[in-house]
A and B are shown apart, each in its own frame.
Chain A
Amino acid sequence: MISQIFILSSKGDHLIYKDFRGEESKDSINVFYEMVTALSGDQPPVVMSHKGLHFIHARQGGLYWVASTKTNPSPFTIIEFLNRLAALTKDYCGSLSEKSVRMNFALIYELLDEMVDFGYIQTTSTDILKNFIQTEAVSSKPFSLFDLSNVGLFGAETQQSKVAPSVAASRPIMSSRGEQGGKNEIFVDVIERLSVVIGSKGVLMKADIHGEIKIKCFLPSCSEMRIGLNEELSIGKSQLKGYSSAVRVDECRFHQAVKLDEFDTFRILKVCPSQGEQTVMQYQLCDELPCAPPFQLFPSVEKDYVNRSVNLSMVLIFLKLRCDLPPKSTALNVSITVPVPKGSTSMSQELSSPDQTAELQPKNKALLWEIPRFPGGAQLSALFKVDVPGLSSASLLEVGPVSMSFELPKQTCTGLQIRFLRLSPTQTGLSQRWVRYVTHSDSYTIRI
């Protein structure tokens, strides 16, 4: 059972504090904050104890979501509950930030009051909660038409008529009484996280894909919805791969509200989405990428003495990066981090276009190369000259491994697609349905 729940800003300001059992004083907030800030990076902060009181916390949206307890509960339950609390806060307030929590604290207190009683979790389902929540959310960012016209999906420049703006989904779910009332939208997002290790010779050493299908529903009430996935989707390792371009995942798990009676034959998920965000399906694919890895790197690292007598030396890092996506798609916000030898003092670079940037970060002894847009099939190269006084040949070993982060809008690496999205004919009112795909790099490492 939970004794207290509190939300702190990263600076330790008290945003929300609720005591459910009156077992502990409010001082425990300060105790927690002192403990969590005193930890060094290698100490696990998730569970901390102080005089028989255990603090379990999760970090979401730059905030500390903390539960304290005097019993010994299941850590999974508490952590998942805190994550759920954060997700609900996001649903109700539109976005998750210190500002939105501050502005909507009355709403969050109301939520907490219904979700937890005497330290016991009562419910976290939006369907039930929405009957009880009376306070209206205050949007931290006023919705303006200007946002609509400029920003496309995930920041991509696309035809706005076909694509929902990226901010469209970040608004409070309960704003039906507000000015945008009646905007009956439903978003189905397929999000994949890619973690890849590519060996020094370009060999794929590890490739895992974690994917999920999320629904964000703004309809006040929604009858059954049918989500059709690729018909050729196969699940499990055992099935033979023929010549067809079958989409395969190793295993998948569904939200308990999903009805699967048509899944085995037609790959159709039936679900009655409740208001807010929920994950209807999680799947993963391990040790295999159905497509080529999105990026290949061809590095060359050399040592170059400028002036041997004063021991002025530099490392030449030449990177050739190829994007193996189909020509029509684009990778966004690509950033490449290359560790450089300790003692690197300065860097000069030659980049192929002015919108790219590169900088040396002496604190992380790494150089950071950023490419805002990277079209599929393109190849970019860059030359970095890093000055390292007193360079030895062994220092070159410190260059690498290269890590990348990026975002691939409109892409799924498994090839999972949503064929159709049908609301049952009894659904009243007009509704707009959006399907969005994105692949994030969870961890993309290339050894040199």
Chain B
Amino acid sequence: MPYFGSEEMVKELKRALSNPNVQADRLRYKNYITKVIRYMTQGLDVSALFMDMVKASATVDIAQKKLVYLYMCTYASDKPDLALLAINTLRKDCADPNPMVRGLALRNMCNFRMPGMTEYIEQPIVAGLRDKASYVRRVAVLGCAKMHSLQPNTDIDGTIVNELYALLRDPDPVVVVNCLRALEEILKDEGGVVINKPIAHHLLNRMKDLDSWAQSEVLTFLLRYRPRSDDELFDILSLLDSFLQSAHAHVAVATLRLFLQLASAHPAVQADALLCTSAPLLATCGAASRELRFAGLCHVQQVMRSQPGLFGTHYKRFFCGYSEPTYIKFRKMEILVELVNDENVALVLEELRSYCTDVSPELAQAAIAAIGRIAQTYSEKCLDILTGLLALKQDHITSAVIQMFRDLVWFCPQSTAAVCQTVEACVDSPQDSEGKQALLWLLGEHGDQISSAPYVMEGYIDGLKTELSSAVKMELLTASVKMFLCRPAETQDMLGRLLHYCIEEESDVCVRDRALLCYRLLQRGVEETRKVVTGPKSDPSMSVLTGRQEEPISQWASTFNTLGPLSGCDLCPQTAVISAADQPSSSAEKELLPESTDVTLSSPDDTEEEISLSLGPPLSHETFEKMWLDLEILQRQTMGFPRPRTALDTLQAALQLVKIQTLAFTPGATVPWKAYIYTRSTGTLILAELLQGDQHAPGIDESLVVSVKQQPVNQHAIRGFVSILKGVLGDVW
């Protein structure tokens, strides 16, 4: 942020700082220094004053010293030669009788981020590690980490590491934690600080002396400790038990994470810990700080993935406060939907209903979507509410309600009649393209039950010229064809007009192609069209899929108490909603493609039988080798026939044909003969080795042996792979 006349300002400051009269007047001098820092914060480049500031560092006024040090640390990397001048003063301060001055000087000297600093700071740091004042030791310990970060590629100094490990026994708690932090950074390449049994027990015993920040940090370090026996494990857990209820949310949550990790083999202990922590977690959900509230809600969502019942009785805590920001309300609604059960459904729905008329259209739509999701279980109650909302005649509400109707009909066929009745009675139509698509889908799919359907659709066809969204046009084409099949007399004329317009005048290629497709389809005759266009009208099994199953705790425990749930957990539930909402329309689209109908309609059931392989990006030899060594053999099978006698090129081509890539093989007639191949299939990578001619086992000499490794494991894919491989080899041979 360069300011106007900034150079003038710097010059003026320089003049003032070098003015002996100013220098003599301590207050004025300090005022000018303060000014420099102020400009620095605002983003002005005041590095030109470095020389004057170095002079100002020689003072007894500690407040002034601190300001100057702040300045020097900021600009040291820009002016390394000038910064060297300041080092003398700093080193002198490092020997000051006042521990505060010593610590201050040492800390700031270590903060100079410039090359060549190490030689100046090493000696003061080593001295600082043995200082009698804990304040200086704290600074010196972190100084070791700073020194290491200045020269990240140099060898690790063993003596310093040993000294730091020894300082873990320091009486000052902050020194202890700083040692952990410093060791973690210095030994990063070797996997960080080692938490062995004595260290872990020592840390556990010190827990009570630490302040909350240190506690949560130590708890995080302890995550990497594995107790040797169950006895030890339970000793540790009972020692930490009280921290689950800590007044500081961050300690309680860190303890919970440690519990979940340590007790991963004891689900009952995990459940107890979750129960214990539910109170502090709920308390953060009602904390005064909204950021904390949000963090609490995100973590409640995580816990609910495994223990949906844990917060069931507390559902009222997730009612939205009217002054809360929208992003918190969204989270609360997501949680409320999950907490619905027979007892509270009426109250929750009443609460959600009151959000539907919120000023913010996004919030209102989200509330309607929440009701829509509950409707998949409690359809009757929700339908009443949704129908009532239509009477409000507000565009965003109508649109959201219609979309929910579409999903509801798809998931719960029993509500079809009621929905059709409501849609029939609904006078005004949605204005946004999402809503229009939903309405058109409903009209097309259930045109036989909505008597006014053709007339509504005619309205859309007449207004086609002003319609901007091509998605709506596509949906309109599909819906009209479906409608034609069930009510031909009323639809024929407008369908003709629609197809004519879309083929002759439409500029969007997709819409035109879709129209052409419909047209040709209709040319094949009504029965043919019916066969292609009409698919299932609903899919009740889908709601089972979208309904959450209880996940094992290990699924999320590793991201618990990290930034993940706050930044990423909106991905999981929301995509589930979106994909559920997309389902009807996208499957409707698929139904229209004649050649793919059979495949898409049957594929969900057939996945158990069929397996498709794909090539994907080629693997390098190194990667293959590394993976081969890392993975374990999942399946070893004798093929029952010797290796193909054909030329190897032919074999390679044949494998390529079924999408199996060859990495390498031994040439010609060498024995033993080996070949390495790999392929991909629905998210997994399959590696395999073909081997023939094990000299030590003459019995299977003639037969080819295949060993398969895979990442991630998918037994089904392996079976498919082996059968394909067998087929190919059999053919070639």
Residues of chain A whose beta carbon lies under 8 Å from any beta carbon of chain B: 1, 13-19, 21-22, 26, 40-49, 54, 56-60, 72-77, 79-83, 105-106, 109-110, 113, 117-118, 120-125, 131-132, 134-135, 193, 195, 197, 199, 205-206, 208, 210, 251, 253-256, 279, 282, 284, 286-287, 337, 339, 342, 364-366, 392-395, 397-398, 400-401, 403, 405, 442-443, 445, 447
Instruction: Pick the residue among A18, A22, A117, A279 that contacts B139 (CB under 8 A).
Output: A117
Instruction: Pick the residue among B74, B325, B354 that contacts A401 (CB under 8 A).
Output: B354
A75 to B564, CA, bound (A): 9
Contacts of B74 in A (CB 8 A): 19
* Given contact pairs A47-B567, A117-B107, A123-B174, A394 touches B392 in the complex (Cβ within 8 A): yes
Contacts of B250 in A (CB 8 A): 74, 76-77, 80
Contacts of A42 in B (CB 8 A): 326-327, 330, 360, 362-363, 366
Binds A, one of B232-240, B261-269, B289-297: B289-297
Bitwise interface map of B from 551 to 580 toward A, beta carbon under 8 Å scored 1, else 0: 000000000011111110010000000000
The answer on a CB contact under 8 Å between A59 and B291 is: yes
The answer on a CB contact under 8 Å between A124 and B41 is: no
Task: Give chain B nearest CB distance to A389 CB in angstroms.
Answer: 14
Task: Give chain B nearest CB distance to A239 CB in angstroms.
Answer: 17
Task: Give chain B nearest CB distance to A19 CB in angstroms.
Answer: 8
Cβ-closest chain A residue relative to B388: A397
* Given contact pairs A1-B181, A286-B314, A76 touches B292 in the complex (Cβ within 8 A): yes
Task: Give chain B nearest CB distance to A365 CB in angstroms.
Answer: 6
Confirm or deny: B212 has a beta carbon within 8 angstroms of a beta carbon on chain A: yes
The answer on a CB contact under 8 Å between B286 and A197 is: no
* Given contact pairs A26-B43, A47-B567, A54-B567, A132 touches B100 in the complex (Cβ within 8 A): yes
A26 to B2, CA, bound (A): 13
The answer on a CB contact under 8 Å between B113 and A58 is: no
Task: Give chain B nearest CB distance to A444 CB in angstroms.
Answer: 8
The answer on a CB contact under 8 Å between B67 and A109 is: yes
Instruction: Pick the residue among A106, A120, A210 that contacts B37 (CB under 8 A).
Output: A106
* Given contact pairs A41-B360, A109-B37, A117-B139, A80 touches B67 in the complex (Cβ within 8 A): no
Cβ-closest chain B residue relative to A197: B319
Contacts of A364 in B (CB 8 A): 359
Task: Give chain B nearest CB distance to A115 CB in angstroms.
Answer: 10
Contacts of A113 in B (CB 8 A): 66, 70, 107
Confirm or deny: B38 has a beta carbon within 8 angstroms of a beta carbon on chain A: yes
The answer on a CB contact under 8 Å between B254 and A74 is: yes
Task: Give chain A nearest CB distance to B124 CB in angstroms.
Answer: 15
* Given contact pairs A26-B43, A113-B70, A286 touches B63 in the complex (Cβ within 8 A): no
Instruction: Pick the residue among B177, B316, B347 that contacts A286 (CB under 8 A).
Output: B316
The answer on a CB contact under 8 Å between B323 and A443 is: yes
Contacts of A205 in B (CB 8 A): 316, 347
Task: Give chain A nearest CB distance to B114 CB in angstroms.
Answer: 10
Contacts of A82 in B (CB 8 A): 291
Which B residues from 303 to 346 make CB contacts under 8 A with A?
Answer: 314, 316-317, 319-327, 330-331
The 10 closest A-B pairs by CB, nearest first: A443-B321, A394-B391, A76-B250, A134-B63, A403-B322, A44-B327, A253-B247, A77-B250, A121-B213, A41-B326
Task: Give chain A nearest CB distance to B285 CB in angstroms.
Answer: 10
List, sorted by A's number, 17 A–B pairs whose CB atoms are closer than 8 Å. Answer: A42-B366, A44-B566, A46-B294, A57-B291, A79-B291, A83-B292, A105-B38, A109-B66, A109-B70, A123-B174, A125-B211, A253-B247, A256-B247, A364-B359, A398-B392, A403-B322, A443-B321
Task: Give chain A nearest CB distance to B63 CB in angstroms.
Answer: 4
Cβ-closest chain B residue relative to A280: B247
The answer on a CB contact under 8 Å between B292 and A253 is: no
Binds A, one of B10-18, B49-57, B276-284, B430-438: B276-284
Cβ-closest chain B residue relative to A115: B213
Confirm or deny: B545 has a beta carbon within 8 angstroms of a beta carbon on chain A: no
* Given contact pairs A76-B561, A122-B174, A208-B317, A106 touches B34 in the complex (Cβ within 8 A): yes
> How many interface contacts (CB-CB < 8 Å) are there between A and B?
228
Interface-central residue, A45, A79, A124, A256, by most chain B CB under 10 Å: A79
Instruction: Pick the residue among A40, A282, A442 that contacts B247 (CB under 8 A).
Output: A282
Task: Give chain A nearest CB distance to B143 CB in angstroms.
Answer: 8
The answer on a CB contact under 8 Å between A56 and B563 is: yes
Task: Give chain A nearest CB distance to B517 CB in angstroms.
Answer: 38
* Given contact pairs A54-B563, A134-B62, A197-B319, A79 touches B41 in the complex (Cβ within 8 A): no
* Given contact pairs A83-B292, A398-B357, A45 touches B327 in the complex (Cβ within 8 A): yes
Contacts of B363 in A (CB 8 A): 42
Confirm or deny: B27 has a beta carbon within 8 angstroms of a beta carbon on chain A: no
* Given contact pairs A134-B63, A442-B321, A74 touches B220 in the complex (Cβ within 8 A): yes
Which B residues from 22 to 80 make CB contacts under 8 A with A?
Answer: 34, 37-38, 41-43, 61-63, 66-67, 70, 74, 77
Contacts of A282 in B (CB 8 A): 247, 283
Task: Give chain B nearest CB distance to A131 CB in angstroms.
Answer: 7
Contacts of B247 in A (CB 8 A): 253-256, 279, 282
Instruction: Pick the residue among B34, B37, B100, B327 that contacts A131 (CB under 8 A).
Output: B100
* Given contact pairs A15-B41, A59-B291, A253 touches B253 in the complex (Cβ within 8 A): no
Task: Give chain B nearest CB distance to A112 CB in angstroms.
Answer: 9
The answer on a CB contact under 8 Å between B317 and A76 is: no
The answer on a CB contact under 8 Å between A251 and B351 is: no
* Given contact pairs A76-B250, A397-B391, A118 touches B291 in the complex (Cβ within 8 A): no
The answer on a CB contact under 8 Å between B566 and A134 is: no
A113 to B139, CA, bound (A): 11
Instruction: Pick the residue among A123, A365, A395, A442 that contacts B211 (CB under 8 A).
Output: A123
Contacts of A195 in B (CB 8 A): 286, 319, 321
Interface-central residue, A13, A45, A72, A197, by most chain B CB under 10 Å: A197
Task: Give chain A nearest CB distance to B208 CB in angstroms.
Answer: 9
Task: Give chain A nearest CB distance to B175 CB in angstroms.
Answer: 10
A178 to B313, CA, bound (A): 54
The answer on a CB contact under 8 Å between B322 and A41 is: no
The answer on a CB contact under 8 Å between A122 and B138 is: yes
Task: Give chain B nearest CB distance to A145 CB in angstroms.
Answer: 28
Confirm or deny: B480 has a beta carbon within 8 angstroms of a beta carbon on chain A: no
Question: Given A72-B564, A74-B253, A134-B61, list of 13 further CB < 8 A pairs?
Answer: A47-B567, A74-B250, A76-B249, A77-B250, A82-B291, A117-B138, A120-B181, A123-B213, A124-B211, A135-B66, A195-B319, A251-B283, A400-B354
The answer on a CB contact under 8 Å between A110 and B316 is: no
A287 to B286, CA, bound (A): 14
The answer on a CB contact under 8 Å between A83 and B289 is: yes
Instruction: Pick the residue among A73, A286, A342 that contacts B563 (CB under 8 A).
Output: A73
Task: Give chain A nearest CB distance to B186 CB in angstroms.
Answer: 12
Task: Give chain B nearest CB distance to A259 CB in angstroms.
Answer: 13
A143 to B388, CA, bound (A): 58
Task: Give chain B nearest CB distance to A67 CB in angstroms.
Answer: 11
A123 to B216, CA, bound (A): 13
* Given contact pairs A75-B566, A80-B292, A105-B41, A41 touches B280 in the complex (Cβ within 8 A): no
Confirm or deny: B614 has a beta carbon within 8 angstroms of a beta carbon on chain A: no
The answer on a CB contact under 8 Å between A392 and B280 is: no
Contacts of B138 in A (CB 8 A): 117, 122
The answer on a CB contact under 8 Å between B34 and A72 is: no
* Given contact pairs A56-B563, A284-B283, A397-B357, A80 touches B317 in the complex (Cβ within 8 A): no
A195 to B285, CA, bound (A): 13
The answer on a CB contact under 8 Å between B66 and A134 is: yes
Cβ-closest chain B residue relative to A255: B247
The answer on a CB contact under 8 Å between B289 and A79 is: yes
A120 to B107, CA, bound (A): 13
Contacts of A392 in B (CB 8 A): 391, 393
A254 to B351, CA, bound (A): 33
Which B residues from 650 to 668 make CB contacts under 8 A with A?
Answer: none
The answer on a CB contact under 8 Å between A253 and B245 is: yes
A151 to B407, CA, bound (A): 59
Confirm or deny: B288 has a beta carbon within 8 angstroms of a beta carbon on chain A: yes
Cβ-closest chain A residue relative to B358: A339
The answer on a CB contact under 8 Å between A197 and B326 is: no
Contacts of A339 in B (CB 8 A): 357, 359
